[in-house]
Structure 1
Amino acid sequence: MISARRRARAAGRQPAEHSQQQPSPSLGHALVSRCQAAAKEFADNAVRAGEQLAAVAAGAAAAVADSRCQRQQQPQLLLASLTSSALNKQQQQQQQPRAVLPDRRRGRWQLNPVVGEVAEGGSGGVDDGKGLLAAADENERFLVSEVDVVGVDGELKQVAMAALSTRANFAYTRSEIMDDMHRVFDTGYFSLCKPVAEETRDGIKLTLEVAPNPELRGFTVTGANMLPQAVVEDAFRDLHGKTLNFNSMVAAVGKLNRWYEDKGVLGQVIDVDTTSNVAEVKVSEAVVNRVILRYVDKATNETRDEGKTKPHIILRNLTTKPGQVFSLHQGRRDIDAVYAMGLFEDVALRPQPAEGSSLEHPKVDLSVEITERKTGGLSAGGGISASGAALEGALPGVVGEVSYSQRNLFGLGQRLVASAKLGQTDSMFRVQHTDPWVRGDAHRTSRTTTIQNDKMSAVNIHGRAPDDVEVAAAGAGGSAGGAVPVGGSDAVFVSRKMATTEYGRPLLQNWQGSLGLSWQQAHCVDEHSRPLQSDLYGAPLTFSGKQHDTMALGTIRVAYTQPSGDSELVASMEQALPLQRDWLNFNRFALRAEKTLGLGPVRVWVRGKGGVIVGDLPPYEAFPIGGTNSVRGYSEGAVGSGRNFVVGSAELRVPLVAPVEATLFGDYGTDLDSGASVLGDPAGARGKPGTGYGYGAGVRIDTPIGPLRLEYAINDRRQTKFHLGIGYAG
């Protein structure tokens, strides 16, 4: 077989210099016979190479059975072996253009076996040379007296002559002459290459009869359901209106196959017909025949047809459906979607050849294999609440939590959580049910229903201002710019009972929307849960003047999150519906935006948020400003509380030793002079400035429960404060 290695060896060989050996007429006949034998060998090898090319697509189907994707920590789809065998063979064929030449008689992409018969020159009494061929030495040289190319002229003749290394008046072996024929063939412009050796008195006259390829006037592509027309036109643009060049055709076919590889679509070119001036390209794309679900037993690794999770709950997450062209990238996304349900330890996709699959119409059966995990149980933990000790400016208090959760209720993928949180000052009891995909609707709508009873400290609005030193020092006396305490409790808590239902769905790519309706009843109590109607300064605590306020609240929320997590935008609007005369009626709008910019190893994080409230406003619903997640350097709510607010923050994050980062930050917040418009003016009564800023430095440690932050800040009053928090600021 003519191989790339043999061509490289021939290319490195130089013509023999001035060989003194004069060939005899019998040796000339031997050369003729050897050329004939070599031509036959070339044709036989060509046919075998063509058969190898035809097996390329079959290799993909054979590789399907051995392909499997395995998951470790994150979903993986290891289906490269599905096409690697075929692609490797295809690349080898593309690296050997001679192995992808069309047979003009059959019009298919195979080696051309039509090399013709070698002419038997010579004069009187010379036999057919078969006996001499057997006796001749392989390394014996023959003198070439003349070299010519016939059948073409002009530029194509120049191409053929330039490819020949055989020159007149030099001696060559049979293999060197045949290598020359291959070099002409390798130019890609000729469909026929016929060497004619004629014995003359001066040596061997070598004539190479060639036939040019036809001019390519157009092309058609069949079997391509996924391949874009623009890709096809781009691949064949340089071939149109020119003499067909097999090498350029190979490159064009390679572009089409690379598109399939880059897009992860299981397809390739299986045939090109060039019998006419219009190239007919046939494409084969694998179609999904069936999608089969298998449950893997964690202990035995055996598969079964049934598991805890209902099959339709799993299969509805797959976008790959029977009848579609199989895409590796789409398969990866499907596995990610199934794994994101949080119900499985492992998700694997096994493609297998389907019954009735063929080279021209390949089909695959997709077997989705899942290993289920434990989805329910009791848990206990703890956290930090910044509101607990804000009155004295100390570090946050500790909160304990116990909960029961079931993430696969009734095998439907629904979640049920019952939890209780108890802290030094706060408490919360909540039962929540979530259906992540209500009845499998086309918009992937989710529903969350919550019943909650909590008691939260209102010290950030109704507590004694920790930064007002004069007020604290005066005791029963006056305060700088503030009111005089007249009685009541120094600790105010807001107790709420609420029931909420919220529907959410994806809107656009990376956008999520939700619509909710809730009923709430709120009242204020002291640390012993005794009802309160006024605070320490005699200001009312409820808007209605009764012991509790009631509201029906409609909520609309839209959120954008960049997949990398570097950008986030959240906008929400709440409308209190006065379904009864004494129910609250107000509108609240809030906006928050965050952006992280990378500057080499250093990252810059910026955040802005703001809000507006119009209508009935109980003091406990005002926007508090200041604290660990607002303006650092101030205690919780110590800057102010108002109907309107704006807070901006910026951080410079420098990595130290993983997972530790150092941070430099600055915060600014203002109530936009709206503090006095809040019922009872709680901010003015406590001498809060309404505007403030802070700056400082800190360290952040990434932990399994979120970033742990320890920060030291200085505010615009030159007061300092340590902040300890979990999660990102804001």
Structure 2
Amino acid sequence: MPWRIFINSFFILFLLVILSQSSFASEATSGSGYMKVTAFAVEGNKNVATEDILSAVPFRIGSIITPNDVQESLKSIYALGYFSDVKAKTKPFEDGVELIYEVTENPILKGILIQGNSVIPTDKILSVMNLPTGKIFNYNEMDKALKRVEDYYASQGYTAARIMDASLSPSGYLLVTIAEGKIQAIKILGNHKTVEHVIRRELTVKPGDIFNYNKVKADINRLYDMNIFSDVGVMFEPGTKPGEIFLDIDVKEKKTGTVTFGAGYSTAYSAIGMISLSDNNMFGRAQTMSIGLQFGAKQSYYSVSFYDPNFNDHNMSFGANLYNYRTYNLLIGGYTSDEKTAGFNMSFGFPIFDKYTRQTITPGYERVHLSTTQPVNPNDQYARPNGSYRSLTYAISRDTRDQTRDPRQGYFASVSISQTNGFLGGSSLYSFEKVIAEFRDYIPLDRSKEHVLAGRLMGGTSIIPSGKIMPVYYQYYVGGQGTVRGITDNKYFGRYFAIGNFEYRFPFIRGTRGALFTDIGDAWGGNSDWPNFKLHAGVGVGIMLNTPFGPVRIDGAYSTNHFKGYFGMGNPF
């Protein structure tokens, strides 16, 4: 019947369609989910070109791919940074599938909001980010911009600063939250003898400050300069409050008390013995106390000294020195004499203007007595400083050096004026004033400050009222370790002096530093009314070693056919 013929025809046609689809599926996804890509399409993009999106796809038309390949292509498109979401779907196309990517674009960036910053202004942060508005937002560009911000913070010393969050609103505003590294608390570790307060008073960094490496490094150098620690370490760890840190100062104390015994012989003083006791961290308060004894057939010497760099915790230094020495049967000023000298001095120092500038006042008293069995020519009185000497010295200095042990940068400048006797009383015959100026400069030659040019210029003059005498004992001396190396100690003397020292300091063998230096200078005037200046020079090499007792400097210098060696604690200037 016709209707039965119609039903059979429809059924046959349906089977043909099913077989056709089945054949297509077997060709497009032949075994284990493989697909042949015959076309690409992108949906949802308005601001990013389709070809730019498809350029990120790692395969092309005609490629046989798997679902894993599709997932990798989604990651590649997402990695372009322009999209908040990327999906994929397929539909049959010709002898394979059309792969369609559905993207959700980021909004147009309308503005950037910064919060949490205090040490770096917002305008500067936006300038460093250099992230333009009015364009589609890109996460990759944002990451680079935020990295530039952290790098800039680090370049300014704020190495603990971090970007805590960056979120983009649907309306196109980027909110950046910065944690600059606020110090929640400072912990002092490793101190057993040293009072914690003594360490804390050297720190300019306080809780509540933003951590700055440069500032902390300066504090570390101040702790080293106390000469009571062999090592100072700094660490920071997350605080209990978001974005804040704990700053740990870990010190390693060194032995500060010493007892020294020694013996020697010289043609001037014959056999001598020496005993010294010292502690530069007395009672754990960074105070220095020393007692020295020296005795022999022709000499005896006793001294007691005390120094407190922060007297009574008022940022004022105090020092005192008491001494007494005697020499017997020595040639002084052309006469065989016995000399007795006793005296004391005190110093009071405190800052003025700012933390780099200090003034010091030092009163002193000394009594000198020379005795001889020989008659003394009145013309030789200048060489025989019998009598009492009362002195008062005022000095002002400015010190911007990064450290005093081994400066790598900064300068030190000072001027001192001293009055001996005169209006202070004392022996009326001996009255004079001294003026001394000094300037030191340290210039780093590389960013690590390992190679340094160091220089010092120093000079002094004397003012002697008419009819008064300045004994040789109080004149200036040049020659030796502290002035011009290579020249015999104190070879030149006079009422005036000028010296210049120039060194190139550099890293040497592991744990040591080397130096090449040249010294120039002279002392002149003597007992003459007119100066007679003549320049003297020395050149040499040196090496500084780090020892348990502190840095030790060994120098060798050459001058006018003479070579001399020197040994001392630390750099000469």
TM-score under structure 1 length normalisation: 0.59
The within-5 A match list for 1:462-481 is 463=333
Of residues 108, 119, 143, the one that matches 1:215 is: 108
Give a deviation string over 1:641-661, Cα, whole Å, max 9, x none: 432233446689999999898
Of residues 389, 393, 396, the one that matches 1:550 is: 389
The within-5 A match list for 1:23-34 is 25-26=21-22
Q: 1:712 to 1:158 in 2, by over 3 A?
A: closer
Tell me which amino acid in the other structure corresponds to 2:177: K
Aligned residues of 2:487 and 2:538 also touching (Cα < 8 A): no
Q: 1:625 to 1:542 in 2, by over 3 A?
A: same
Q: 1:264 to 1:152 in 2, by over 3 A?
A: same
Q: 1:426 to 1:259 in 2, by over 3 A?
A: farther
Structure 1 partner of 2:365: 520
Q: Per-residue deviation at 1:419?
A: 1.6
Say whether residues 1:138 and 2:32 are aligned partners: yes
Structure 2 partner of 1:256: 149
Tell me which amino acid in the other structure corresponds to 1:558: S
Aligned residues of 1:512 and 1:558 also touching (Cα < 8 A): yes
Of residues 565, 572, 575, the one that matches 2:407 is: 565
Aligned residues of 1:407 and 1:414 also touching (Cα < 8 A): yes
Tell me which amino acid in the other structure corresponds to 1:402: I
Aligned residues of 1:399 and 1:421 also touching (Cα < 8 A): yes
SS in 1 for 2:335: coil
Q: 1:537 to 1:666 in 2, by over 3 A?
A: same
Say whether residues 1:448 and 2:319 are aligned partners: yes
Structure 2 partner of 1:241: 134
Tell me which amino acid in the other structure corresponds to 1:713: S
Aligned residues of 2:346 and 2:364 also touching (Cα < 8 A): yes
The within-5 A match list for 1:478-493 is 489=335
Say whether residues 1:278 and 2:278 are aligned partners: no
In structure 2, what is the Cα distance between the partners aligned to 1:274 and 1:238? Answer: 13
Say whether residues 1:498 and 2:351 are aligned partners: no
Q: Per-residue deviation at 1:160?
A: 1.7
Structure 2 partner of 1:591: 437
Aligned residues of 1:490 and 1:536 also touching (Cα < 8 A): no
Q: Per-residue deviation at 1:212?
A: 2.6
Higher mean alpha-carbon deviation, 235-244 vs 566-575, is at: 566-575
Aligned residues of 2:259 and 2:277 also touching (Cα < 8 A): yes
Structure 2 partner of 1:644: 496
Structure 1 partner of 2:13: none
Structure with greater contact order relative to length (CA < 8 Å, sep ≥ 6): 1
SS in 2 for 1:501: strand
Aligned residues of 1:523 and 1:549 also touching (Cα < 8 A): yes
The within-5 A match list for 1:127-276 is 137-138=31-32, 140-144=34-38, 146-152=39-45, 156-168=49-61, 171-201=64-94, 203-229=96-122, 232-259=125-152, 263=157, 265-275=159-169, 276=171
Say whether residues 1:437 and 2:330 are aligned partners: no
Tell me which amino acid in the other structure corresponds to 2:206: K
Aligned residues of 1:235 and 1:255 also touching (Cα < 8 A): yes
In structure 1, what is the Cα distance between the partners aligned to 2:77 and 2:330? Answer: 91
Higher mean alpha-carbon deviation, 162-171 vs 183-192, is at: 162-171
Aligned residues of 1:273 and 1:281 also touching (Cα < 8 A): yes
In structure 2, what is the Cα distance between the partners aligned to 1:137 and 1:642? Answer: 106
In structure 2, what is the Cα distance between the partners aligned to 1:143 and 1:445? Answer: 84
In structure 2, what is the Cα distance between the partners aligned to 1:334 and 1:633? Answer: 37
- Paired residues in the alignment total 532
Higher normalized strand content (fraction of residues): 2
Q: Per-residue deviation at 1:147?
A: 2.1
Higher normalized helix content (fraction of residues): 1
Q: 1:206 to 1:308 in 2, by over 3 A?
A: closer
SS in 2 for 1:676: coil
Q: Per-residue deviation at 1:633?
A: 7.5
Q: Per-residue deviation at 1:279?
A: 0.3
In structure 2, what is the Cα distance between the partners aligned to 1:182 and 1:292? Answer: 46
Aligned residues of 2:27 and 2:95 also touching (Cα < 8 A): no
In structure 1, what is the Cα distance between the partners aligned to 2:514 and 2:130? Answer: 54
In structure 1, what is the Cα distance between the partners aligned to 2:164 and 2:451? Answer: 51
Aligned residues of 2:390 and 2:426 also touching (Cα < 8 A): no
The within-5 A match list for 1:61-460 is 137-138=31-32, 140-144=34-38, 146-152=39-45, 156-168=49-61, 171-201=64-94, 203-229=96-122, 232-259=125-152, 263=157, 265-275=159-169, 276-284=171-179, 287-293=182-188, 308-326=193-211, 334=219, 337-338=222-223, 340-343=225-228, 357=240, 361-365=242-246, 374-381=255-262, 400-422=273-295, 427-441=300-314, 444-454=315-325
Aligned residues of 2:35 and 2:97 also touching (Cα < 8 A): no
Q: Per-residue deviation at 1:311?
A: 3.4
Aligned residues of 1:407 and 1:415 also touching (Cα < 8 A): yes
Q: 1:707 to 1:427 in 2, by over 3 A?
A: farther
Structure 1 partner of 2:458: 609
In structure 1, what is the Cα distance between the partners aligned to 2:60 and 2:41? Answer: 10
Structure 1 partner of 2:8: none
Give a deviation string over 1:26-64, Cα, whole Å, max 9, x none: 5877999xxxxxxxxxxxxxxxxxxxxxxxxxxxxxxxx
Aligned residues of 2:478 and 2:521 also touching (Cα < 8 A): no
Of residues 530, 534, 538, the one that matches 2:380 is: 538
Q: Per-residue deviation at 1:249?
A: 1.0
Q: Per-residue deviation at 1:634?
A: 6.2
Q: Per-residue deviation at 1:137?
A: 3.4
Q: Per-residue deviation at 1:611?
A: 1.0
Tell me which amino acid in the other structure corresponds to 1:212: E
In structure 1, what is the Cα distance between the partners aligned to 2:26 and 2:537? Answer: 96
Q: 1:204 to 1:155 in 2, by over 3 A?
A: same
Tell me which amino acid in the other structure corresponds to 2:261: A
Aligned residues of 1:216 and 1:242 also touching (Cα < 8 A): yes
Aligned residues of 1:166 and 1:177 also touching (Cα < 8 A): no
Tell me which amino acid in the other structure corresponds to 1:234: S
In structure 1, what is the Cα distance between the partners aligned to 2:552 and 2:434? Answer: 29
Of residues 497, 509, 522, the one that matches 1:669 is: 522
Q: 1:178 to 1:649 in 2, by over 3 A?
A: closer
Q: What stretches of structure 1 of length at least 5 have no aligned partner?
A: 1-22, 33-132, 297-306, 390-395, 464-487, 679-688, 715-719
SS in 2 for 1:160: helix
Q: 1:446 to 1:24 in 2, by over 3 A?
A: farther
Q: Per-residue deviation at 1:269?
A: 2.2
Q: 1:410 to 1:614 in 2, by over 3 A?
A: same
Give a deviation string over 1:144-199, Cα, whole Å, max 9, x none: 2x323243357633422333455445544333344333322221122343434232
Aligned residues of 2:302 and 2:323 also touching (Cα < 8 A): yes
Q: 1:440 to 1:231 in 2, by over 3 A?
A: farther
**Among the aligned pairs, what percent are the same residue?**
20
TM-score under structure 2 length normalisation: 0.73
Structure 1 partner of 2:567: 726
SS in 1 for 2:144: helix
Higher mean alpha-carbon deviation, 660-669 vs 408-417, is at: 660-669
SS in 1 for 2:50: helix
Tell me which amino acid in the other structure corresponds to 1:417: S
Structure 2 partner of 1:53: none
In structure 2, what is the Cα distance between the partners aligned to 1:524 and 1:236? Answer: 76
* RMSD value, Cα: 4.9
Give a deviation string over 1:480-503, Cα, whole Å, max 9, x none: xxxxxxxx6156858341222232
In structure 2, what is the Cα distance between the partners aligned to 1:603 and 1:268? Answer: 34
